[in-house]
Chains A and B, each alone.
Chain A
Amino acid sequence: MIINRATSRRLLTLLLVSVLLLAAAGCGNGSQTEGFGADSSVQDGDVTLVIGAYSVVKDAFADLLPQFQSYWYEKTGQKVTFQESYEASGTQARAIAGGFEADVAILAMEGDLDKIAEAGFITHDWKAQPNNGMITNSIVVLGTRAGNPLGIKDWKDLTRDGVKVLYPNPKTSGGAQWDINAIYGAGLKLSEQKNGSKDPAYAKSFLKAVHANVESLDKSGRASMAAFEYGVGDVIVTYENELLARVKKGVAYEIIVPNSTILIENPAAVVDKNVDKHGTRKVAEAFIAYLQSEEAQRLFVDHGFRPVEEKVAMETANRFELPEDLFDISYLGGWAEVRDSLYSKKGIWYQVLAGL
């Protein structure tokens, strides 16, 4: 009896260990290595830069950070090491506003940087920087399975019966707010074509019709893309760069550029309170400026983003399809208006969810 119990217990432990190992291996694939910050020992004069970014730039940063390291080393002789955190944009903004000591914030949208500014961590006027403080552009597009089996061409097709749609939850994801803005804006454009004026009620019912087909509301743009890769859904509403990056890796997704869609602009800024505390202002400011340099912009283009720097934009213009009717956030009245009308407590998004 005792021996038997002991063996069964041993078996149990064995099973547990193997399961844990499997789980660890699964996680290991996803987690990033620390760059070469890990193996270089910290010396006097070295500097650590804490990066708080939104999840989508993770892959681009994996290439970009080492380049900045060598750029900064050549320029000043100082070694930079990075501590990186990637989260859904809204979550990241809340973390920084709540005391996560990031030196620089790279987020999906203006509103999230404003959150940090409102909490008193960013004290300078970050929009006064070149390109209004934006480091990358993109557009909201539709991604379908290889060969576009359902013949999706435009937003309207997402309202068809039996089309399963994915986009992340705008409450947690900044990227999702762009997606919802694009659908809502496209609804406004449609109403304009029909009646000659913007009709919010029409746009709302359009958004509602698309939402009725949504299969899963994930936490971040990344999670939504992961679900799509698991085989969930027929169409994903996401950033063009997300899809371009995957297509480049050989995944046969189809990218559909809708007739009218929104221009995405992603900002970055130095977090004043934290850089002053860490004494990292110089390198942090250089990093933000570097993100807008030709070199960095080319790298962003390689990862599917649209550049903000004029020269690179001219050079790479033929790589990106220009939607016929591209609008930006000002078409919806700017971020302050959008936050108020769409995402406030009883706003349009809430009404769509609650079926009001």
Chain B
Amino acid sequence: MNAMFRGKGWSFGFRTTIMLYFIILIVLPIIGIYTQSFSLGWTPFWESVSDPLAWKSVLLTVKLALIATILNMLLGTMIGWVLIRYRFPGRRLLNSLVDLPFALPTAVGGLMILLLLGPNSLVGGLAGKAGIEIVFHEPAIVIAMLFVTFPFVIRAIQPLLEEMDKSEEEAAYTLGATRAKTFFSVIFPTMLPGILSGAMLAFSRGLAEFGAVVLVAGNIPGKTLIASVYIFGEIESNNPQGAAAVSVLLLTLSFLILWTVNLIQARRNGQ
């Protein structure tokens, strides 16, 4: 088998197919968006991006995605750790539940948040009495982002923990290191690349989230309107160039982030 795939014809065929697939599926649409955003030249592009409603929505999105990412890093690391290191009944079930947010249409997630945390629900009612506004304000957007990005960090650190050589930890203890010292100088460094790359993925996914957020955010321009919903609104109101311009901002940001992830992973593999 292997010898067959190494043949020249095969190798060429493979490469071409993959390149074509990649170009049609990923590269062309992205080039399309960049061309669309500059279709009327630099000035309209700049006007679309410097519109206060546009950059406020991007700023809000980045801020909330960042909060969601930090929460994800903390909670995701803990959950991943617990799922690998502890044995308890229901662990396998929990482990398979982690991926559910990926399988569920995000709008359903949004609806659930609306029903569970809305003003008529127990939590929402209590929070409302305490003067905390969840639904239609920033907390709900963060929760929606958390929901859709939940698996990333967990799934990124699990293989690292599983791969980890038990003897390293044992050696640390034998050498007289405390539990905390062992954790921070042996275990944590192993998990760190996973936490970081998971967080980057979660961050760029959070930037782009639409379905869940549109239901739970108030969508008031300049206040609770995030970039993806702003872009949708621009398309709806017949301004494809403006929509593309803001998309370019988001895309560039996401691209930079994913590139960083790649660099981190390359360095990890190099070590």
Please give the residue numbers on chain A whose beta carbons come within 8 Å of chain B beta carbons, in ascending order: 4, 7-9, 11-12, 15-16, 19, 23, 26, 90-91, 94, 169, 171-172, 214-218, 230-232, 350, 353-355
Identify which of residues 41-67 in chain B touch chain A, using a CB-to-CB cut-off of 8 Å: 51-53
- 14 further A-B contacts with Cβ under 8 Å, apart from A214-B218, A217-B218, are A8-B93, A16-B103, A94-B238, A171-B233, A172-B233, A172-B236, A215-B136, A230-B119, A230-B120, A231-B118, A350-B53, A354-B51, A355-B52, A355-B222
Partner of A218 from the list B92, B100, B108, B219 (CB cut-off 8 Å) is B219
- In the complex, how many angstroms separate the beta carbon of B150 from the nearest chain A beta carbon? 15
Is the C-beta of B135 less than 8 angstroms from some C-beta in chain A? yes
Is the C-beta of B221 less than 8 angstroms from some C-beta in chain A? yes
Which residue of the partner chain A has the closest CB to B136? Answer: A216
Check A4/B219 contact, CB under 8 A, given A15-B100, A171-B237, A230-B114.
no
Check A216/B219 contact, CB under 8 A, given A16-B103, A230-B119.
yes
Q: Which residues on B sit within 8 Å (CB–CB) of A9?
A: 96
Q: Verify B118–A230 contact, CB threshold 8 A.
A: yes
Is the C-beta of B97 less than 8 angstroms from some C-beta in chain A? yes
Please give the residue numbers on chain B whose beta carbons come within 8 Å of chain A beta carbons, in ascending order: 51-53, 92-93, 95-97, 99-100, 103-105, 108, 111, 114, 118-120, 135-136, 217-222, 224-225, 233, 236-238
Check A169/B219 contact, CB under 8 A, given A9-B96, A353-B53.
yes
A26 to B111, CA, bound (A): 10
Q: Verify A216–B220 contact, CB threshold 8 A.
A: yes
Q: Which residues on A sit within 8 Å (CB–CB) of B104?
A: 19
Q: Verify A169–B233 contact, CB threshold 8 A.
A: yes
Partner of B97 from the list A15, A217, A354, A355 (CB cut-off 8 Å) is A15
Q: Verify B236–A171 contact, CB threshold 8 A.
A: yes
- In the complex, how many angstroms separate the beta carbon of A5 from the nearest chain B beta carbon? 8
Partner of A231 from the list B96, B99, B120, B221 (CB cut-off 8 Å) is B120
A230 to B114, CA, bound (A): 9
Q: Which residues on A sit within 8 Å (CB–CB) of B108?
A: 19, 23
Q: Verify A231–B103 contact, CB threshold 8 A.
A: no
Of the A-B pairs whose beta carbons lie under 8 Å apart in the complex, a sample of 13, sorted by A's number, is A9-B96, A15-B97, A16-B100, A90-B237, A169-B219, A216-B136, A216-B220, A230-B119, A230-B120, A232-B136, A353-B53, A354-B53, A354-B221
Q: Which residues on A sit within 8 Å (CB–CB) of B92?
A: 4, 7-8
Q: Which residues on A sit within 8 Å (CB–CB) of B118?
A: 230-232
- In the complex, how many angstroms separate the beta carbon of A270 from the nearest chain B beta carbon? 24
Which residue of the partner chain A has the closest CB to B242? Answer: A345
